[in-house]
Structure 1
Amino acid sequence: MFSPLHDQKNQKTYRSRTGAGKTTTRHPAKNIPPERQGQAGSRLYQDAHADTTAMLGRSLVHHGPFNDRAYLFRLDPADVPGIAGRLLALARGRGYSRVFARVPAPACGHFISSGYLPRARIPGLYRGEVDGYYLAAYRDPLQGNWQDGIDDVLAVAEEKGRKGAASTPLEPEFTCTPATPADAPALATIYRKVFVTYPVPVQDPAYLAREMHHNLHCFCIRDGEKIAAIASAAVDPESKFAEMTGFATLPEYQGCGFSDHLLRQMEAKMRSIGIKTAFAIARARSYPANIIFARTGYTHAGTVPGCVNICGSLEDMSVWYRLLDGRMAAPPRGTSGPTGDA
C-alpha cells in the first residue's frame, strides 16, 4: 500500500529553495500520457481500482489496468534471473506501460541487464543487512521534465527535517491506539471518504480484517468512540521491514497533526517486534506528505516516476526510510546503486 498524506485542502504555502512562496497543490505524474491517466469516475469503490495479486513462479506480483503496471511485490530468489523478463512479458501481454520491482541488491544486476533502472535504494531493507531497491522499466519513454516541482518539495521537506519538530500532545479528548479487526468497517468507511482511488482494496472491510489477522498493524486516533484518523504498518516478518502506509484523516479533523502521532506509535510497535527498517512511499509533489517523514527522521531514498494511481491520478512517488535498530542512515537524496550483474 502507498501513503499519500493528503494536502490539507491545498491551502498551505511553503517556501521554495529560491525563496518564492509555493502553494501545495495536487499534480499528477508528468510523464504519463493523458489516455493512460485512468478515470476516477464517480467514486465507485468495491475494488474497482485495486490491483490483482498473482504468483509469477514463486514470487508475488501486483498488476492491473487501472494502475497500468506490473509490480513485483515480493521476489523469491528461486525465480532469478528469469523473472525479470517474465515480468516484462506479463506487462506486454496485458498492455501495461510500466513495470516495477522491489528486490534485494544481489538480484539488481539481472533486472538492470533486462532494461530496468534503479529508482530508489533503501539501505539494509532486508533483515537490516541487505540493501533493497525499487527498479522500473517503462514502455512509454519518460518526458524530460517529469521531475518538475519535486526538487522543491524535497528541499522544503529536508530543511524542515533538519530543524526538527516536537510532537504536539494530543488534546485530552483524543487517544491513539491500535485498531482491531472489529474496527475494519469503520476504517473502510474512512478510506471511502478520503481516497478516490487506491491500489489495494482498503475500502473493503473484509480485506482489512483479513490483512489485520496477518501482518497489517493498524493504528487509529479516536475522538471518544469515533475513529478520526488511521494509518498502518504493513510488516514483512521474514525480512524485518515495515511499510508505513494507509494514512487517512477525516476532513473535519485535518490539520490536527494526527499523522505524526500515528507514525510515532507505529514505529514504537515495530521496534518492539524486532522490525529493523521502516519505509514509506509518498506522493512526490505533496509538501505535507514529504514533510511529515522528513521531520520524523526519515531519509529520502529516491523517486519512482508514474508509480501508482492514487487520489484519482497516476502519481510519481518518493521513497523515504528510517532505520529503527540504531544503524546509521546513508546520506540523503542518494539513489546510486549497482550497475551490473550481482
Structure 2
Amino acid sequence: MTPDTIETFHGQTIQHGKYNNRIYLMKFNSNNNGKLPFKLIELAEKKQYSKIFAKVHHEYIEEFLNLGFLCEAIIPCFYNGRQTACLLSYYMDSARRKSATPKENEKVIEACRKKQQAANHAAELPPSMTLRRGTPEDASAMAILYRHVFKSYPFPIDDPEYIRRTMKTYVDYFGIWQADKLAALSSAEIDAGLGNAEMTDFATSPESRGKSLALILLKHMEEALRKKNIKTFYTIARAASFGINITFAKQGYTFSGRLIQNTQIDGRFEDMNVWYKTI
C-alpha cells in the first residue's frame, strides 16, 4: 500500500492516507482562525478516514474539544521548553475508539513502574560494538534492518531514499554496528525551532537483542541532542510492547497518556503510549 502523504493543509503540516486510515496533524500553526477542526473533519469525511490525530498547543484545544476531539495525552514543555502540547483524537468510526489490547497495555505500564523503582539502570556498549550517527551511505543497511524488524510501519523507513531525504532535513539517525553489520538503530525527529525531539524508530536485529542496545542508543541520542539545545524529548511507543516502554521508563521518562488504535504497525492498528522527559 502507498505510504501516507505529508503535505500542507490550510497552513498546517499533516500526514494522511489509507495506510494509517487517519489524518495526523503533525505541526500545528495557531494562525487558523478557529476553522481548522472543521476542515480536518471535512477532509476525514471526504476521504473516509476513521481517525484524526492532532498535536495542538494547549491554548487552542477548546475549539477542538467543542467539536468532540478527546485529549488522550499531553507533552509538557513541548513548545520551547515552556508550553504544553495536547495530543487530541477524533474518531470517525466508533470501532476504532476501542482498544484491542487493554489488559496487555496495563501489564506493560505495571512492569515499567517496577523497573523505574529499580536502582541500577546502567547499560554499557559491548566492546565489540561501535555507536555512531548514521550517514547517507548507511541508508541501505538501515532500510534493510527496518524491513526485517517491521512487517509494516506508519512511515516508509524501509526506503533508503526516504532515510536519505529525512537525514538531510530534520532527522538524526543513530546506529550500533558489530564489525560492518548494523545491529541496532534509532532516530530523532528534531524540531529545532520549538526545542523538542521525538525519539523513535528503534529497531534491533534478532541476534543482537538482550544487550540493552535501545537503552544505550537512547542515552547517546539525549547527549547529542542536548548539544543542539533540545529541551524536551518524547516518544510515541507501541503500548503492548514491554521492551520499548521499559527502555523509556528506565531512562526517566514520564508516561502521559495513550492513543487508541492510533498507528498501523505490523499489519494492524496499535495503541501507542506517550512518554516525555524535559531538561
**TM bucket by the smaller chain?**
over 0.9
1:134-157 alpha-carbon deviations (Å, 9 max, x no partner): 000112223388633322211111
TM-score by length of 1: 0.78
Whether 1:182 and 2:148 are equivalent positions in the alignment is no
Ranges of 4+ aligned residues in structure 1 off by more than 4 Å: none
Partner of 2:246: 291
Match of 2:24 in 1: 71
Structure 1: where are the runs of 5+ without partners? 1-47, 326-342
How far 1:54 moved relative to its partner?
1.7
Relative contact order (alpha carbons < 8 A, sep ≥ 6): 1 or 2 greater?
A: 1
Cα distance in 2 for partners of 1:86, 1:148 equals 35
> Does residue 127 in structure 1 map to residue 75 in structure 2?
no
The alpha-carbon distance between structure 1 residues 232 and 144, as it changes in their structure 2 partners (threshold 3 A), is closer
Percentage of pairs with the same residue? 35
Contact in 2 for aligned 1:91/1:99 (Cα 8 Å): yes
CA contact (8 A) 1:175 1:223 kept: yes
**1:96 paired residue number:** 49
Q: Which runs of 5+ in 2 are unaligned?
A: none
Are residue 53 (structure 1) and residue 6 (structure 2) matched?
A: yes
Identify if the C-alpha distance between structure 1 residues 144 and 245 changes in structure 2 by more than 3 Å, giving closer, same or farther: closer
Report if aligned partners of 1:280, 1:321 keep a CA contact under 8 Å in 2.
yes
CA distance in 2, matches of 1:229, 1:205: 16
2:99 & 2:216 partners in 1: Cα distance?
38
1:1-342 to 2 correspondences below 5 Å:
48=1, 50-141=3-94, 142-143=97-98, 147-323=102-278, 325=279
Q: Which has the higher strand share?
A: 2
Q: Provide the C-alpha distance between the structure 1 equivalents of 2:99 and 2:136, rounded to a whole number of angstroms.
A: 45
- Computed over aligned residues only, the root mean square deviation of the Cα atoms, in angstroms, reads 1.4
How many residues align structurally? 277
Higher helix share: 2
Q: What TM-score, normalized to structure 2?
A: 0.95
Q: In structure 2, what residue type is equivalent to 1:276?
A: K
CA distance in 1, matches of 2:113, 2:139: 35
Query: For residues 235-281 of structure 1, what are the alpha-carbon distances to aligned partners after superposition, in whole Å with 9 as ceiling and x for unaligned?
Result: 01111100000101111112221101100000001111000000011
Contact 2:99-2:271 at 8 Å conserved across structures: no
Distance in 2 between residues matched to 1:167 and 1:177, nearest whole Å: 19
Give me the whole-angstrom Cα distance separating, in 2, the residues matched to 1:165 and 1:306.
34
Specify the code of the residue in structure 1 equivalent to 2:163. L
Instruction: Supply the distance in 2 between the matched residues of 1:82 and 1:315 (Cα, whole angstroms).
Output: 30
Distance 1:80 1:291, change over 3 A: farther
Identify the range of structure 1 (214-223 vs 136-145) with the bigger mean alpha-carbon deviation: 136-145
Distance in 1 of aligned mates of 2:36 and 2:103: 33
Q: What is the rounded CA distance, in whole Å, between the counterparts of 1:150 and 1:229 in structure 2? A: 25
Between 150-159 and 237-246, the greater mean CA deviation after superposition: 150-159
